A and B are shown apart, each in its own frame.
Chain A
Amino acid sequence: VRLQLRRGHQRLAVVVMVAMGAVAGEARAAEVAAAQRATLFLEPSSEKGNKGVTVFHPQTDVSGTFASGVGIAAGYAVDIVSGATPRVFAVRNDSYGRPMDAISGATQFSDTRQQVHGGFSYTRPTSDVAGSYSYGWENDYRSHAVTVTTRSDLVDHVFTIGLSYTHNFDRVCDANNEATGGDPLNRAALVTSEHCFQSAPEVTTRKLNIDALEPSVTWAATPRLLLQVGGTAQILDGFQSNPYRRVELGSGGRRPQETLPALRQRYATFLRAAYAVPSLRASVQAGARLYRDTWAVEAATADVLVQQYLTRFLLWSARAHVHSQRGASFYRNADEYRLLGPNGKYWTGDRELSPMRNYLVGGKLAYLRIPESGTKSFFSEIEAALKFEALFYQLDSTFAPNADRKLATIWQLAVSARF
């Protein structure tokens, strides 16, 4: 037995040495990429004394690609959120007692959401497959996500078929409402995340599972034109409410916790195109998306991106994005909830479930440093970019959620390099 073990160890040692040699050989042929990006999201409130919401979102990603086509990647991202959000969606009256708008008197908060992810890829001349895992956590939320992506080129690389599948195993902290006997009108909202995920009696953990499938087909239609069509099918099953939010229903002043259906199926289809304009050293990309889900939210989205080389080292781009959507079937604004009560057994104060339009415009300036062909350099590419965008919200009523926040500005600074 000892001899067998020794032989086993010897085989193992040989395998390890061969593997190490292969990795060492691979390492010499490796290309390493690193990217750092910081995004600052500012959404001020028009209300006096309300700071709105600020999100600082730094990201770091590193990846390595070996000559055999094997690649590895890892990254870390943080959301540092601070500001104030309304915990009760209700009508505010003016000094004469007349309905004025939705309450924006907000609760101060700050939270940090962190995410780590890692993955691998294997690339062949006409296909590739990749897998990744990410873990995100904050005081009141835990998220495990697994993604598998595959892509194949067909007909001399003229068509590319892509397929991506993601499953999320998420957990949400909620107030323990066992004592309410299941009556949603008596549900209390979560007050603090202090005891979340600690088996405290006043809180409980709710599940949310998400499955998403994303097929796409890309066609190199002409030497200047790329076309892509695809879609997304996503199923969410579990707790999807904001556990902190309450909604005022009727004139009696009842303010139960927001209640949303446990199941949501979301479908989107899109068509995108990229067209090269070599005379201007530019390209124009345009895309349209149609969306519908089982909560009766219907949306249409259009995007345009123009990019142009100013010099060999300078690249600028401009982007516009328009989004229009109908509200969920159970959505009502704060005044309607007060006058009419809920529309069925669900109620929400979520702006993203209300009828709305968003307009985004912005631009980016990037500096590129790429060695001339044939010259030796320790890097293969360095890029630094600064981006600014403004996002305008158009809601249908002053009684809509977050009606006091009419725009957001987004700043982004990025540095990346390939070696």
Chain B
Amino acid sequence: VDSAWCSSVDGRGRTPAAPIPSPVAGRPTGEGAGGSHFPSGPGALGTLRARASLWGLLIVAFVAGGMSGCRHFGVRAHQRELLADRIMSLEGNVQERAADEHVLSNREGAVGGTGTAGGGCGCN
């Protein structure tokens, strides 16, 4: 059952017409899939501390959304053109991210929160 909010996103119940990219998938694969999905026409170039309860509320909101039977909570398949572009990937290039984390984890006292885990004493 779609809620009013869900219906406002797209209440027409369209069927996905294309393979749906995961929001956190790495680079799309396949011929031409790595290209820009952004328009290319003329002119196109052109509190540090948050409360733990906020995180809890966000997670509860996510879970509640998933459990509510709200099938169109968020973005439809045909609306994912921009989200599927490589520059929208939150994980980015896995090898590059590993190199970046390798540098910072040996120069800062904090780790985690980036989707990578590892060890090593970093003695030098």
Interface residues of A (CB under 8 A from B): 31, 35, 37, 39, 41, 53, 57, 59, 61, 65, 75, 81, 83, 85, 109, 111, 113, 125, 136, 140-141, 143, 145, 147, 151, 153-160, 162, 164, 166, 168, 170, 172, 208, 210, 212, 214, 216-224, 226, 228-234, 240, 242-244, 266-272, 274, 276, 278-283, 285, 288-291, 293, 297, 299-302, 307-312, 315, 317, 321, 323-325, 328, 351-354, 356, 358, 360, 368, 370-373, 377, 380-381, 385, 387, 391, 393, 408, 410, 412, 414, 416, 418
With beta carbons under 8 angstroms apart, the residue of B23, B33, B108 that contacts A299 is B108
Distance in Å: Cβ of A116 to nearest Cβ of chain B: 14
Residues of A within 8 A of B95 (CB): 35, 37, 59, 61, 75, 414, 416
Q: Are B96 and A37 in contact (CB under 8 A)?
A: yes
Q: Are B102 and A57 in contact (CB under 8 A)?
A: yes
Residues of B within 8 A of A53 (CB): 124
Report whether over half of chain B's contact residues are helix, strand or loop; otherwise say mixed: loop
State whether A371 and B117 are in contact (beta carbons under 8 Å apart), knowing that A151-B24, A321-B104 are contacts in the complex: no
On chain B, the number of residues with a Cβ less than 8 Å from chain A's Cβ atoms is 76
Q: Which residue of B lies closest to A270 (CB)?
A: B113
Q: Are B75 and A158 in contact (CB under 8 A)?
A: yes
Asked if B50 is at the interface of the complex by the 8 Å CB criterion, the answer is yes
Q: Are A232 and B24 in contact (CB under 8 A)?
A: no
The 7 closest A-B pairs by CB, nearest first: A232-B112, A158-B74, A268-B112, A270-B113, A291-B110, A212-B117, A268-B113
Bound together, the chains give a CA A311 to CA B46 distance in angstroms of 10
Interface pairs (30), CB distance under 8 Å: A37-B96, A57-B99, A57-B102, A59-B99, A143-B120, A145-B119, A156-B16, A164-B115, A164-B117, A166-B117, A223-B83, A232-B114, A266-B112, A268-B111, A276-B88, A280-B45, A281-B40, A283-B88, A289-B114, A290-B49, A299-B108, A309-B36, A309-B38, A354-B109, A370-B32, A370-B35, A372-B32, A380-B29, A408-B107, A414-B93
